[in-house]
Amino acid sequence: MNKLLVALGLAATVALVGCNKEKAPETGATTGEHLENAADQAGHDISQAADEAAAKTKAATEEATAKIDAAGEEAAKKTEAAAQDVKESAKEATAATAGAVEQGAADMKEKAQQ
């Protein structure tokens, strides 16, 4: 973007000086040739800036996709671990309840026999 601004500034400066069609002694090029060269350079700079922006956008998209994938895998692992914990807790609760029922039945049987 800075290259574009420099190129446009150069073009504006040349335009302000005037459209002198005579050869300039320092370069041998006419003002029209300078403007044409500046326009060509600006076109190349714009193209290069667009290519750089596309490459950076692609890299950012790939990085974001990788992070989203990693987060999805992590969430799946945590969900699976939580489900396993719930399953184990349910087994333990069922076993404790069954034990309490059996103990209560044994106590009742013992009292009934006395």
Containing structural domain, residue 64: 2-113
- Per-residue pLDDT, 104: 85
Contact assessment for residue 48 and residue 40, using Cβ atoms and an 8 Å cutoff? no
* Residue 17: band (very low, low, confident or very high) from pLDDT cuts 50, 70, 90: low
Whether the per-residue pLDDT at 71 is higher than 80: the answer is yes
Contact assessment for residue 9 and residue 57, using Cβ atoms and an 8 Å cutoff? no
Q: Which residue has the higher pLDDT, 69 or 107?
A: 69
Tokens 């013992």 identify what position? Answer: 110
Count of structural domains, the chain: 1
CA 35, CA 23: separation in Å to the nearest integer? 13
- Per-residue pLDDT, 30: 77
